[in-house]
Amino acid sequence: MGIVSPGFQGRPRSQEPTLPPGQYLTEDFPVLSAGPTPRVSLDTWEFVISVENGTERRWSWQELMALPQETPTVDIHCVTRWSKLGTTWQGVSLDTLLDGVDTGAHYALAHSYGGYTTNVPLDDLRGGRAWVAHTFDGKPLAPEHGGPARLLVPHLYFWKSAKWVRGIRLKTMDQPGFWETAGYHDYGDPWREQRYQGD
């Protein structure tokens, strides 16, 4: 426990749902990005998995839509401390996309239209825990929230859920991405409050 702030009570807490430490509940959907919102045409959109041996698998928008779709309802947690509960998405599981990909890599670097990158251990993209999501709350995902498609990895802080995702590169060595290079934690578990390097 830190030093007590004289006169600080905080919000009433009895009715608060269980949130990761340091998080508070929001009903809005805040937008946080490092630059302008990229506008990506569905005609040229693609998702590419590049394997460490140099092979690539790619899907067009139509091909992604033809894959089995899932509709996860998940809680999301932003490192800036808002959490949003029970959000509903539609997308394709990374299990589906990685099915048949022969790899010995342990790391993935997600990369986006616009140049954003973020690193995630490959195991964290498997086991029904990660999706390429294109629909939020029943509607096409808005550009400022990462549309046409974003990565959705809800068990990690939301900067790992790369907006405008374009693909993942499978890597044998971990390579920090955009925010990780700028001082954020390499893994980003909200329940362990892994916000910044050293947490």
Partner 1 sequence: MTERAVAEGTERPAPNRWQVGRLVERRVETRSAQTLVLEVPDWPGHLPGQHVDLRLTAPDGYQAARSYSIAGPVVDGPAGPRIEVTVQRVPDGEVSPYLIDVFGVGDPVEVRGPLGGWFIWRPEQTAPVQLLGGGSGVVPLMAMIRARRVAGSKVPFRLLYSVRTPADLIYGDELRRRARDDFGLDVAYVYTREAPEGWRGEPHRIGLADVNTHGWPPDLEPLTYVCGPTGFVETVADLLVGLGHPSRRVKTERFGPTG
The least distance separating partner 1 from the CB of residue 116, rounded to whole angstroms, comes to: 8
Candidate segments 54-62, 90-98, 148-156, 176-184, binder of partner 1 by CB under 8 A: 176-184
> Binders of partner 1 among 31-50, rule CB under 8 A?
31-38
Tell how strand 139-140 and strand 107-112 pair up.
unpaired
Q: Which of 84, 106, 103, 101 is nearest to 25 (CA)?
A: 84
Question: Length of the chain in residues, anyone?
Answer: 199
Question: Token pair 């990369």 is at which residue?
Answer: 111
Is 198 a binder of partner 1 (CB under 8 A)? yes
Return the half-sphere exposure (C-beta side, CA atoms, 13 A cut-off) of residue 178: 16
Over its C-alpha atoms, the chain yields an Rg (Å, rounded) of 17
The least distance separating partner 1 from the CB of residue 173, rounded to whole angstroms, comes to: 15
> Binders of partner 1 among 59-98, rule CB under 8 A?
80-82
Candidate segments 46-54, 89-97, 108-116, 150-158, binder of partner 1 by CB under 8 A: 108-116
**Greatest pairwise CA separation for the chain in angstroms:** 61
Q: Which residues contact 111 (CB under 8 A, 6 or more apart)?
A: 117, 162, 165, 166, 167, 168, 169
Is 15 a binder of partner 1 (CB under 8 A)? no
Quick one: which of 63, 88, 144, 191 contacts partner 1 (CB under 8 A)? 144
Is 182 a binder of partner 1 (CB under 8 A)? yes
Q: Which residues bind partner 1 (CB under 8 A)?
A: 1-11, 13, 22, 24, 26, 28, 30-38, 80-82, 111, 114-117, 144, 178-179, 181-183, 196-199
